[in-house]
Amino acid sequence: MLFCAPRRATALRGVLLAAVSVLTLYAHAAPPIKITSKAATDGPIRYTVKVASKQFGNAQETRTLRSGETDDFTWRTTPPGGPVPTPDGCPDYASLPLDANGAMVRQTQLRLAPIVASNGTANVQLSFRAQAPRGTTTVTSGGKPLKCPDVAAHSEVLRFAMPTTGTVKTLTLADGTQITISAQR
């Protein structure tokens, strides 16, 4: 029996050495793990939109969108001097932004449509439309004079690229309105 113990120890060492060799081979044969700093292009992105306009007012909002989605921002604000009373016979009455009392207020509408490329750059289409009363004008409707809002309006579509790293992009529209957008993953 004295001679059996060294044989067992030698056999056990051989088995352990073989197991370690096999495990080492598997560890060396595994493909390397590749770490990238890029996020998936279809993940949610927080867009902060700020509008600064002397004529149409100021507004700001943050929303979350995915690539390929669109979102409509609509802001209504009281114009300087207050809402302008608007009789229902005024031209384009149905398309005017009115408050609960039927008086015209300022309205800014913005549609944001981003598509994010594989490199993380957002290609954005921005549609801007705004209306505001700037005083009143007298029009004749049905043979009667009506005091209607003198409507200032602006509409513009812009296409641009921007990073999705939180960098701010500032756009100036033809009427002087400034739109500031940031996109953050």
pLDDT in tens, 84-96: 999 999 999 999 9
C-beta pairs of 93-100 under 8 Å, 24+ apart in sequence: 96/131, 96/149, 96/151, 97/131
Q: Domain count for the chain, please give it.
A: 1
pLDDT 10s digits, 58-83: 999 999 999 999 999 999 999 999 99
Confirm whether 16 is domain-assigned.
no
Confirm whether 69 is domain-assigned.
yes
Confirm whether 81 is domain-assigned.
yes
Whether the pLDDT of residue 10 is over 70: the answer is: no
**Domain span holding position 53:** 45-184
Confirm whether 37 is domain-assigned.
no
Confirm whether 113 is domain-assigned.
yes
Q: Which distant-in-sequence residues (6+ apart) come within 8 Å of 52 by Cβ?
A: 58, 177, 178, 179, 180
In terms of C-beta density within 10 A (0-12 exposed, 13-18 middle, 19 or more buried), how is residue 85 classed?
middle
Confirm whether 100 is domain-assigned.
yes
Q: Distance between CA 133 and CA 107 in Å, rounded?
A: 10
Confirm whether 4 is domain-assigned.
no
Whether the pLDDT of residue 181 is over 80: the answer is: yes
Of the two residues 161 and 8, the one the predictor is more confident about is 161
Confirm whether 161 is domain-assigned.
yes
